[in-house]
Structures are given as structure tokens and as C-alpha cells.
């Protein structure tokens, strides 16, 4: 499944969004956290001013709410979702305890939660070396890597909400693999 991944395109959309926001509300611009979502397959990235807005956008992309996604996984298992649309895969946070900026991945790569790597994703440059906590969705097991394309030092798998990724990988993540 690794070969199915395509290299993400440069995240110009995110910069454009931030620029627009800064123009519209300049006094608060310095405090504005970025909450971005990205398609793991295409690398298409969009950013929002709040976590809720980002998750809502990811839900629109995948065609179901996170609650509906969790229910589908609980009830019908992986097979229920395999034949349908994308899933929300996981969220990565700038600070410990799910604080600061956030980056949510979605896509058609369905996790099995096992030890095998199903697919991988290299973060855009502005998202590297800052991740401190992570939240896997859709039964995904996340690994964090210090190099691009799932290379370098790594830690994981993170299968539960992880308020701190640990000293080894804190602020070092460049890419993530998921299984």
C-alpha cells in the first residue's frame, strides 16, 4: 500500500488563507492559530481559524461526521467503510495535550490498526519539528518519523489519544506513517 501514496503538493492554499485572514483582522493576526486539514493522497491543504472549523471541513470532505465515522467502525467494522468514501485519519497538534495549531489528515487510506504501514505522509515545511501530541482516528496506528517519507528515527505506534508523544519525538516529526 505504500506505493499508493503520492508526494504532497506544496501547500500554497494555506499561505493564501493566512494572508487573507491577516488582512481582514490584523489586530488579532499574531494570535491566530492555524488549523489545517490535508488529503493524505493529494496533499491538498486547507487552513482555518479554529479546530472546530477544520474538523467540520474534514467531515464535509469525507461525507460523514466523526461520530458517524466512529459508529460505522464500531458497528460494521472496517468492511463497512472500505466500500464507501474517505475517512478522517488523525490529528496532530503543536503543543502537548492537544493544544496550539492542529493538522488533520483525511483520505481513502483505511487503517487496520496493525503493525504494518498502510501509507505515509510528509508534513509541509511549516508543520515540521513542532508536533507534541496526536489523536488517531479510524482505528489508525500512527508512527512519527524524524525524516521525510517515513524515514529516520521514529516512535509509536500511537493508537490512543496521546497528550504527549514523548521526549524522543517531541518537536522532531517530519513525516508520519499509518497502519
Q: Would you tell me which residues interact with Ca ion (CB under 5 A)?
A: 130, 132, 171
Cβ nearer to Ca ion, comparing 36 with 138: 36
Collapsed DSSP state (helix, strand, coil) of residue 96: helix
Residue 33 or 70 having the CB closest to Ca ion: 33
As measured in angstroms, the least distance from the Cβ of 152 to Ca ion is: 18
Residue among 132 and 175 whose Cβ is closer to Ca ion:
132
Write down the number of H helices and E strands in the chain.
4, 9
Residue with cell 493524505: 40
User: DSSP assignment, residue 73?
Assistant: H
Least spacing, CB of residue 36 vs Ca ion, in Å: 15
CB of 131 to Ca ion, least distance (A): 6
What stretch of H or E contains 106? strand 99-107
Cell of 151: 524515514
Minimum CB separation of residue 142 from Ca ion in Å reads: 16
The residue of the chain with the least Cβ separation from Ca ion equals 132
- Cell numbers for 96, please give them: 502537548
Nearer to Ca ion, 115 or 167 (CB): 167
| Start-to-end Cα distance in the chain | 10
Amino acid at each position: 500500500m505504500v506505493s499508493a501514496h503520492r508526494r504532497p503538493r506544496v501547500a500554497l492554499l494555506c499561505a493564501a488563507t493566512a494572508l487573507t485572514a491577516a488582512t481582514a483582522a490584523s489586530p488579532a493576526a499574531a494570535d491566530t492559530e492555524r488549523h489545517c486539514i490535508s488529503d493524505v493522497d493529494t496533499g491538498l491543504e486547507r487552513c482555518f481559524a479554529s479546530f472546530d472549523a477544520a474538523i467540520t471541513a474534514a467531515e464535509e470532505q469525507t461525507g460523514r461526521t466523526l461520530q458517524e465515522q466512529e459508529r460505522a467502525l464500531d458497528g460494521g467494522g472496517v468492511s463497512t467503510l472500505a466500500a464507501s468514501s474517505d475517512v478522517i485519519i488523525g490529528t496532530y497538534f503543536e503543543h502537548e495535550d492537544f493544544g496550539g495549531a492542529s493538522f488533520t489528515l483525511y483520505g481513502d487510506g483505511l487503517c487496520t490498526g496493525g503493525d504494518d504501514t498502510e501509507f505515509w505522509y510528509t508534513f509541509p515545511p511549516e508543520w515540521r519539528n513542532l508536533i507534541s501530541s496526536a489523536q488517531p482516528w479510524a482505528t489508525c496506528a500512527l508512527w512519527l518519523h524524524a525524516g521525510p517519507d517515513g524515514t529516520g528515527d521514529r516512535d509509536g505506534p500511537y493508537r490512543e489519544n496521546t497528550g504527549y508523544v514523548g521526549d524522543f519525538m517531541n518537536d522532531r516529526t517530519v513525516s508520519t506513517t499509518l497502519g
